[in-house]
């Protein structure tokens, strides 16, 4: 059950990640000021990523482990670190200095890292 939930959550992570990228790109292209919707989307993305990781750690605690998983875990911890770093950086900036670019760059990077993390255990990114 944990594996199915963990596996299924990846689609939510990918979907919300794509929404974050699209919204940030739209904000940059139109030159709109940074808004609340961007902050909420990014927080949702980090939250779903955290939850997926939590399910992964629960599986390890229940005894699922083999050496190949090391690459998966390292990549996913890197993805989590980038996601949390961006939200800290944005939060620390005064509202008038917040921009869409960090969300766009970081989320592209995170989805790339996640893809390698999934491929590291020989599973398809989608399917
Ligand atoms: C550091 C956090 C994470 C840990 C500790 C972790 C751990 C695990 C474990 C133990 C498995 C089971 C491997 C197996 O049964 O062979 C697994 C599979 C998997 N994980 Fe993670 N994971 C983490 C983060 C993530 C994230 C963030 C994603 C995607 C957004 C993800 C996607 C997957 C996928 C797609 C599978 C294969 C599921 C399947 O066979 O259907 N994992 N992970």
DSSP assignment of 10-39 equals HHHHHHHHHHHHHHHHHHHHHTPPP-HHHH
- pTM strictly above 0.85: yes
Q: Where are the domains of the chain?
A: 2-119
* Minimal-distance CA residue to ligand 1 atom 19: 7
CA gap 96, 106 in Å, rounded: 20
Q: How does pLDDT run across 17-41, given as a tens digit for each residue? A: 999 999 999 999 999 999 999 999 9
Note whether 1 and 62 are within 8 A (CB).
no
Picking from 13, 46, 3, 2, the residue whose alpha carbon sits closest to that of residue 126 is 13
- SS3 of 68, please? coil
Q: Ligand 1 test: best mutation among 9, 56, 123, most atoms within 8 Å of CB?
A: 56
- Is 83's C-beta closer than 6 angstroms to any atom of ligand 1? no
Q: What are 64-97's pLDDT values in tens digits?
A: 999 999 999 999 999 999 999 999 999 999 999 9
* CA of 72 relative to ligand 1 center, distance in Å: 7
Residue 98, SS3 per DSSP: coil
Q: How far is the CA of 89 from the centre of ligand 1 (A)?
A: 27
| Cα–Cα distance measured from residue 115 to residue 119, given in angstroms and rounded to the nearest whole number | 6
């Amino acid at each position: 059950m944990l594996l199915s939930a963990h596996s299924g959550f990846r689609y939510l992570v990918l979907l919300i990640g794509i929404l974050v990228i699209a919204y940030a790109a739209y904000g940059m292209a139109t030159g709109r000021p940074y808004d609340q919707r961007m902050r909420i989307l990014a927080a949702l993305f980090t939250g779903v990523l955290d939850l997926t990781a939590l399910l992964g750690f629960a599986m390890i605690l229940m005894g699922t482990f083999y050496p190949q998983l090391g690459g998966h875990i390292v990549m996913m911890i890197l993805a989590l670190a980038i996601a949390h770093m961006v939200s800290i950086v944005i939060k620390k900036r005064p509202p008038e200095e917040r921009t869409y670019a960090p969300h766009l760059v970081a989320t592209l990077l995170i989805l790339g890292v996640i893809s390698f993390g999934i491929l590291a255990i020989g599973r398809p990114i989608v399917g």
